[in-house]
């Protein structure tokens, strides 16, 4: 019987602007830390339809859409907030300027989750739009209450088809419990199906 395992941790939230996503290439800027992360939730848009023949269910047609992420983070610095939402940051005055027009670029997002056996799952989501964060502030009082920010992120598949699979990819997830990859450089670049290299073990 397999052990029961649950998630118990998340860290290393990074982002990188996508610079090319074409038939010929998928490339990104060097990843940077997006923020400290407290929580992440993922839901996937799905649908199915059952067709009946001879009075019985004969075919199920399934469809999968975008992944929707809800990420609770510490309060973003204004320069990072401007970059991920396509707004303007005036570095001379330290001011975030919002023109009310959604013009954000596509980004790749990476992070890792930890389980109750101290293994990690490293996740790269390869094409994401990040919406302006939800936030709330309230008066300081004699309690220890404080607030953070919540990012809404929509992740879709790349245009680029990767050599290893021959098709686009929406995300990749690598589990350290398999002991198949060297993760020491994982967050130095956005990982794709084609950039991951199997761990070479010496006898």
Which tens digit of pLDDT belongs to each residue from 97-106? 998 887 789 9
Are 28 and 184 a contacting pair, CB within 8 Å? no
pLDDT of residue 143: 63
Strand partners, 47: 63
What is d(CA 32, CA 34) in angstroms, rounded to the nearest whole number? 6
DSSP state letter for 105 = P
What is d(CA 63, CA 108) in angstroms, rounded to the nearest whole number? 23
Domains contained in the chain, number = 1
On whether residue 142 sits in a domain, the answer given is yes
pLDDT of residue 46: 85
111-124: average pLDDT: 93
Helix (H) or strand (E) holding 75: none
On whether residue 194 sits in a domain, the answer given is no
Average model confidence (pLDDT) across the chain? 89
On whether residue 2 sits in a domain, the answer given is no
Are 199 and 179 a contacting pair, CB within 8 Å? yes
On whether residue 14 sits in a domain, the answer given is yes
Q: Please report which confidence band the pLDDT of residue 159 belongs to, taking 50, 70 and 90 as the band edges.
A: very high
Q: Is 188 left (phi over 0), alpha (psi -120 to 50) or beta?
A: alpha
On whether residue 203 sits in a domain, the answer given is no
Say yes or no to pLDDT of 7 above 90.
no
What value does the CA radius of gyration of the chain take, rounded to a whole number of Å? 20
On whether residue 124 sits in a domain, the answer given is yes
Neighbours of 179 (CB within 10 A): 10
What is d(CA 162, CA 195) in angstroms, rounded to the nearest whole number? 10
- Segment 11-63, tens digit of pLDDT: 999 999 999 999 999 999 999 999 999 999 999 888 889 999 988 989 998 88
On whether residue 159 sits in a domain, the answer given is yes
Q: Which domain holds residue 77?
A: 7-188
Residue 110, class by beta-carbon neighbours within 10 Å (0-12 exposed, 13-18 middle, 19+ buried)?
buried
Helix (H) or strand (E) holding 66: strand 56-73
69-83: average pLDDT: 93
Residue 84, class by beta-carbon neighbours within 10 Å (0-12 exposed, 13-18 middle, 19+ buried)?
buried
- Segment 144-156, tens digit of pLDDT: 555 789 999 999 9
Are 63 and 46 a contacting pair, CB within 8 Å? yes
- Segment 83-96, tens digit of pLDDT: 999 999 999 999 99
On whether residue 106 sits in a domain, the answer given is yes
Angle (CA) 8-147-124 rounded to 5° is 45
């Amino acid at each position: 019987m397999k052990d029961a395992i649950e998630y118990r941790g998340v860290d290393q939230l990074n982002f990188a602007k996508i610079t090319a996503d074409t038939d010929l290439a998928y490339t990104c800027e060097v990843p940077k830390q997006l923020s400290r992360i407290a929580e992440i939730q993922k839901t996937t848009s799905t649908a199915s339809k059952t067709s009946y023949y001879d009075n019985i269910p004969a075919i199920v047609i399934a469809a999968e859409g975008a992944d929707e992420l809800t990420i609770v983070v510490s309060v973003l610095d204004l320069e990072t907030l401007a970059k991920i939402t396509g707004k303007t940051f005036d570095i001379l005055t330290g001011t975030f300027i919002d023109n009310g027009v959604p013009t954000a670029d596509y980004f790749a997002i990476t992070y890792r989750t930890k389980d109750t056996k101290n293994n990690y799952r490293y996740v790269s989501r390869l094409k994401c739009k990040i919406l302006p964060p939800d936030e709330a502030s309230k008066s300081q009082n004699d309690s220890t209450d404080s607030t953070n920010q919540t990012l809404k992120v929509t992740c879709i598949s790349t245009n680029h088809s990767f050599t290893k699979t021959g098709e686009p990819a929406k995300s990749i997830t690598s589990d350290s419990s398999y002991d198949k990859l060297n993760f020491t450089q994982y967050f130095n670049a956005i990982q794709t199906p084609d950039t991951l290299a199997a761990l070479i073990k010496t006898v």
